[in-house]
Amino acid sequence: MAKRQFTIDTGSEQIPVEGQVHRNVAVKYLMRRRRSILMTKNPEKVEKLWTDLPKKIKIIGRQLTREYKVNWERLGTEEYEGSRFVFTLDDLGEKITKK
> What span, in angstroms and rounded, lies between the C-alpha atoms of 28 and 44?
25
Q: Are 87 and 71 in contact, with CB atoms under 8 Å apart?
A: yes
What residue numbers bound the domain in which 66 lies?
4-96
What mean pLDDT comes out for the span 20-43? 94
Give Cα 78 to chain centroid, integer Å.
Answer: 19
DSSP β-ladder status, 84-96 and 14-19: unpaired
Torsion of CA 51, 31, 57, 52, to 10 degrees: 10
- Distance of CA 15 to CAs 57, 60, 94, Å? 11, 10, 19
**Confidence at 25, pLDDT banded by 50, 70, 90:** very high
Q: What is the mean pLDDT of the chain?
A: 90
Give the global pTM. 0.88
- Please state, for a pLDDT cut of 70, what percent of the chain lies above it: 96
Give how many domains the chain has, as a whole number.
1
pLDDT at residue 82, rounded to an integer: 75
